[in-house]
Chains A and B, each alone.
Chain A
Amino acid sequence: MADTVLFEFLHTEMVKELWAPHLEPGRVGWKMSLSVLEGLGFRVGQALAERLPQETLAFREELDVLKFLCRDLWVAVFRKQMDGLRTNHQGTYVLQDHSFPLLVPMGSGPQYLEEAPKFLAFTCGLLCGALSTLGFQSQVTASVATLPACKFQVVIQKS
């Protein structure tokens, strides 16, 4: 069954395309491409968060929404659940994935560490978009210590 890799291939091509040789050296082009990727993920996340919770009951609090992201959203997109969720109960959550499917093809260990953020931008946008549909403004950043494990830090903004 090729389904599992379809999205991974598409994602890899997206990242490669946005980093095509027209990019000027320096951080300016880098930031633009990262925000384009995040924007893509954001819109996808908005639509997914509308479609996925259809049969479930309404969410009663923030933690329920985060659990929904870690379980249902992750399973729908990556076919596995998030490995860990930690919170300080004040709006900051750390989502840990020990073997993130979009990083697994790159190998394990410290070798491609600088390339990793490009492959996480879309997913950060995905989380941000899903949260925004479910009613929370947030900021999502990702960090990698060693491939393929990564952490997503979600900070919910109080309004």
Chain B
Amino acid sequence: MAMCIVVIAKENYPLYIRSTPTEYTLKFYYMVHTSLDVVDEISAMGKALVYQRELYLGLFYPTEDYKVYGYMTSSKVKFVMVVDSSNTALIFQKLHNSYTDVMCNPFYNPGDRIQSRAFDNTVTLMMIQVC
């Protein structure tokens, strides 16, 4: 079972990347990078649609059965997840809550890479749940 979670800042650079198993890492980076274009497309035409903040990006690579899910917060921080199961709404909620906790940490400068152990633990828990 493979899975990857990436937190992307609003300037489109990664704040946190975690994937398992490790031999797929580069492939996941590539997928996530290409999915950023889709995110931009959807948010550009978002003026007319009243979308909730969750976006479903759908099947990316028809040869492999990974699905790429995206979620954007009101501060334009994006969470992208590559996974092959589908209870993503809850996972994104938890990710969002963890990310908000990281933001509220006074020792964290917005824009830095995320190095919080609590966030790591949350992500690990979610990976265990899925895999």
Assess A58 versus B52: contact at CB under 8 Å? Given A50-B73, A50-B100, A135-B75.
yes
- CB contact list, A18-55 vs B, under 8 A: 43, 46-47, 49-51, 53-54
Assess A54 versus B51: contact at CB under 8 Å? Given A133-B75, A135-B76.
no
- CB contact list, A36-94 vs B, under 8 A: 43, 46-47, 49-51, 53-54, 56-61
| Chain A proximity mask over B91-126: 1 for CB below 8 Å, otherwise 0 | 000001101100110100010000000000000000
B74→A46 contact, CB < 8 A: no
B72→A134 contact, CB < 8 A: no
Q: Report chain B residues within 8 Å CB of A50.
A: 73, 75, 99-100, 103-104
Q: Report chain B residues within 8 Å CB of A57.
A: 50, 52-53
| Chain A proximity mask over B34-74: 1 for CB below 8 Å, otherwise 0 | 00000000000011001111000000000000000000111
Interface residues on A, range: 10 to 19
Q: Report chain B residues within 8 Å CB of A133.
A: 75, 110
A54→B96 contact, CB < 8 A: yes
Assess A58 versus B53: contact at CB under 8 Å? Given A133-B75, A135-B75.
yes
Interface centre among A47, A56, A59 (most CB of B within 10 A): A47
Task: Please give the distance in Å from A25's CB to the nearest CB on chain B.
Answer: 33
Cross-chain contact of A54 among B52, B100, B106 (Cβ < 8 A): B100
Q: Report chain A residues within 8 Å CB of B100.
A: 50-51, 54
In the complex, which residue of chain B has the Cβ closest to the Cβ of A68? B74
B103→A58 contact, CB < 8 A: no
Task: Please give the distance in Å from B118's CB to the nearest CB on chain A.
Answer: 15
Q: Report chain A residues within 8 Å CB of B103.
A: 46-47, 50-51
Cross-chain contact of B104 among A47, A58, A59 (Cβ < 8 A): A47
Task: Please give the distance in Å from A50's CB to the nearest CB on chain B.
Answer: 4
A135→B52 contact, CB < 8 A: no
A58→B51 contact, CB < 8 A: yes
CA of A51 to CA of B74, assembled, Å? 10
Q: Which residues of B contact A (CB under 8 A)?
A: 10, 46-47, 50-53, 72-76, 96-97, 99-100, 103-104, 106, 110
5 of the cross-chain contacts (CB-CB < 8 Å) are A43-B106, A54-B97, A60-B47, A61-B47, A135-B76
